[in-house]
């Protein structure tokens, strides 16, 4: 055998065309061209990847290729041969007929997407056990055969891609999209980097979006390095919590805290076995637009109703201003939700300062905090308004039951805030006998707050209403319902869903029946308790059957 070039340990084969007959070009990328070829000696079709020698097989890369060639796993494309002709480097690999995952984004149902990722991670676990790291997991490097078998390509040759030297912005953006934070920062990468990249791939299969959206490679690198990722539940709050948790873990910023490829594969396998995923196909872009539009419309309506009701309760502007201000709040929210929230809170400042300066000062601080905390999803600040709008028909529980659409964390927090806000409003407005304030009689709390002689006194009296034992208990109950409902809906077994719904109903009925006596209030009228129970069952039924199933169907298509 002739000597190899000094920069490579691959065999020198200037007569390679005697053995490998090129049939056709089947692909090209930023660093290589791939051909279908016929191996004359062994009588089989192969994939022939060709790169220029200057970007070819250095001794280190060639050793990695040889290590990858020893991997024997059905999910890893076999490497057969490595050589050079002096001008080009050649890698001969198994020819895979199928579709790259890059063409399947937005085309797979949820269960199929998770199965693809599970097979990728199973292949990675095998390679990692042999000391081989891929370094360039992305949709273009994963094939799915007609039989549904996943094949991971380019093990051991990721260094050939020279991702840090690519000049084509599209290629660079596509490569950067799947980089781990340590890879984006130029640090040494190991198996956790592959797990991160596989997590990004699964995220895209489930949502159609990249967790680090950006227009340029630089912007994306910055987002990845800083860990500024959009949680998957922002796009897919309907997915099982176990799946959302698995994706979040894979996308962890700290490599040492990510699961191993084997553990991640086991977690996805558990999701598949549980039957929590239905065989529906997402249309991510349509779903995202529909959810954003629906949330904007609901927020605009709630903003208009809040302005109309609160300005009536706090007369300070001329009466003829009430309707225009409510319309302006609606329009401002419809155009820009954050701006609509700012307008609504600003419009209420003068009436509250008109009550008293201390009350206005407390409100101003609270309004600024609300703007800051709700800037991501402004509608959460108005979630108590949703409960109050439907409270007269005993359907206030719609607020905690609908809150999960806001996300796994934001949803329960919004539900708890609605519980606090609803109680506080009804007490301050002097509304007694409500089933959602534990039948607490009307009090003079509003008058006492209005006559507070200082900021601290006003703050203490407002806090006493907002954080009363009754309000805190209701906040805990509503927050618990927002946590429990997705868990109940995620159960594949109908009996479990019925038991879970029954336990939720029992918790509501017991709380609203027993709490008044515990807090020293009058006993709950049995007729109102019965009405509350019926209203809860109807509302919960709508959520489980109508909202749960109907919204799921609206988000997906068979």
Of the candidates 108, 167, 166, the one whose C-alpha atom is nearest the C-alpha of residue 139 is 108
Question: What backbone torsions phi and psi does residue 557 show, to the nearest 5 degrees?
Answer: -135, 140
Measured CA to CA, the distance from residue 51 to residue 260 in angstroms comes to 32
Tokens standing for residue 142: 């994963």
DSSP state of 551: I
Measured CA to CA, the distance from residue 155 to residue 277 in angstroms comes to 31
Residue 32 near residue 71 (C-beta atoms within 8 A)? no
Question: What backbone torsions phi and psi does residue 536 show, to the nearest 5 degrees?
Answer: -65, -45
Provide the sign of the torsion angle of the four alpha carbons 282, 284, 289, 292, taken in this order. positive
Strands 98-100 and 20-28: unpaired
Neighbour tally for 171: CB within 10 Å: 16
Measured CA to CA, the distance from residue 501 to residue 206 in angstroms comes to 28
What is the number of H-type helices and E-type strands within the chain? 22, 10
Measured CA to CA, the distance from residue 359 to residue 363 in angstroms comes to 6
**Does the annotation count 41 as an active-site position?**
no
Q: What is each CA distance from 131 to 128, 161, 330, 464, in whole angstroms? A: 5, 20, 60, 61
SS3 readout for 277-340:
CCCCEECHHHHHHHHHHHHHHHHHHHHHHHHHHHHHHCCCCCHHHHHHHHHHHHHHHHHCHHHH
Q: Classify each residue of 477-498 as buried b or exposed e, where b means 16 or more C-beta atoms within 10 Å of its C-beta.
A: bbbbbbbbbbbbbbbeeeeebe
Q: What is each CA distance from 119 to 19, 73, 401, in whole angstroms? A: 33, 11, 36
Measured CA to CA, the distance from residue 20 to residue 38 in angstroms comes to 6
User: How many residues make up the chain in this entry?
Assistant: 558
The residue annotated as part of the active site, out of 136, 154, 194, 238, is: 136
Rounded (10°) angle between helices 110-129 and 191-207:
170
Rounded (10°) angle between helices 284-313 and 337-355:
10
Burial of 269 (0-12, 13-18, 19+ CB in 10 A): middle
Of the candidates 479, 499, 477, the one whose C-alpha atom is nearest the C-alpha of residue 544 is 499
User: 């990510």: which residue's tokens?
Assistant: 258
Active-site residues: which are they?
136
């Amino acid at each position: 055998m002739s000597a190899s070039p000094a920069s490579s340990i691959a065999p020198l084969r200037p007569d390679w065309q005697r053995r490998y007959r090129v049939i056709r070009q089947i692909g090209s990328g930023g660093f290589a061209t791939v051909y279908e070829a016929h191996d004359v000696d062994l009588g089989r079709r192969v994939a022939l990847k060709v790169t220029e020698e200057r970007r070819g097989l250095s001794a280190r890369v060639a050793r990695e290729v040889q290590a990858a060639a020893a991997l024997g796993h059905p999910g890893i494309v076999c490497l057969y041969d490595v050589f050079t002709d002096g001008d080009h480097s050649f890698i001969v690999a198994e020819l895979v007929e199928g579709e790259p995952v890059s063409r399947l984004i937005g085309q797979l149902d949820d269960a199929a997407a998770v199965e693809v990722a599970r097979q990728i991670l199973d292949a990675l676990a095998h390679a990692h056990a042999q000391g081989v790291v891929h370094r360039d997991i992305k949709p273009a490097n994963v094939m799915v055969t007609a039989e549904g078998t996943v094949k991971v390509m380019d093990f051991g040759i990721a260094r050939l891609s020279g991702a840090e030297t690519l000049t084509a912005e599209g290629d660079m953006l596509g490569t950067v999209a799947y980089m781990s934070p340590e890879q984006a920062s130029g640090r040494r990468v190991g198996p956790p980097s592959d797990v991160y990249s596989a997590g990004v791939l699964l995220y895209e299969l489930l949502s159609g979006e990249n967790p680090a959206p950006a227009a340029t490679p630089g912007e994306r690198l910055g987002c990845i390095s800083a860990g500024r990722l959009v949680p998957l539940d922002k796009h897919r709050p309907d997915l099982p919590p176990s799946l959302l948790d698995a994706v979040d873990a894979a996308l962890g910023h700290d490599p040492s805290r990510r699961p191993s490829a084997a553990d991640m594969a086991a977690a996805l396998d558990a999701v598949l076995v549980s039957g929590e995923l239905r065989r529906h196909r997402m249309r991510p872009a349509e779903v995202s637009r529909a959810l954003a539009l629906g949330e904007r419309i609901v927020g605009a309506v709630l903003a208009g109703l809040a302005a109309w009701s609160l300005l009536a309760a706090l007369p300070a502007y001329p009466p003829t201003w009430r309707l225009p201000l409510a319309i302006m709040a609606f329009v401002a929210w419809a155009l820009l939700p954050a701006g609509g929230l700012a307008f609504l809170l600003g419009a209420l400042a003068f009436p509250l300062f008109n009550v008293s300066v201390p009350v206005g000062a407390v409100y101003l601080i609270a309004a600024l905090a609300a703007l800051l905390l709700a800037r991501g999803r402004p509608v959460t600040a108005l979630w108590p308004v949703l409960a109050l709008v439907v409270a007269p028909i005993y359907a206030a529980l719609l607020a905690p039951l609908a809150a999960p659409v806001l996300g796994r964390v934001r949803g329960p927090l919004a539900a708890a805030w609605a519980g606090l806000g609803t109680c506080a409003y009804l007490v301050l407005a002097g509304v007694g006998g409500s089933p959602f304030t534990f039948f607490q009689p009307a009090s003079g709390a509003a008058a006492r707050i209005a006559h507070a002689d200082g900021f601290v006194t006003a703050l203490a009296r407002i806090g006493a209403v907002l954080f009363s034992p009754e309000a805190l208990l209701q906040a805990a109950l509503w927050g618990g319902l927002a946590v429990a409902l997705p868990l109940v809906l995620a159960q594949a077994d109908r009996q479990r869903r019925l038991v879970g719904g029954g336990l939720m109903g029992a918790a509501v009925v017991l709380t609203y029946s027993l709490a008044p006596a515990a807090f020293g209030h009058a006993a709950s009228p049995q007729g109102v308790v019965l009405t509350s129970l019926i209203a809860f069952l109807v509302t919960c039924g709508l959520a489980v059957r109508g909202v749960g199933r109907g919204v799921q169907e609206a988000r997906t298509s068979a």
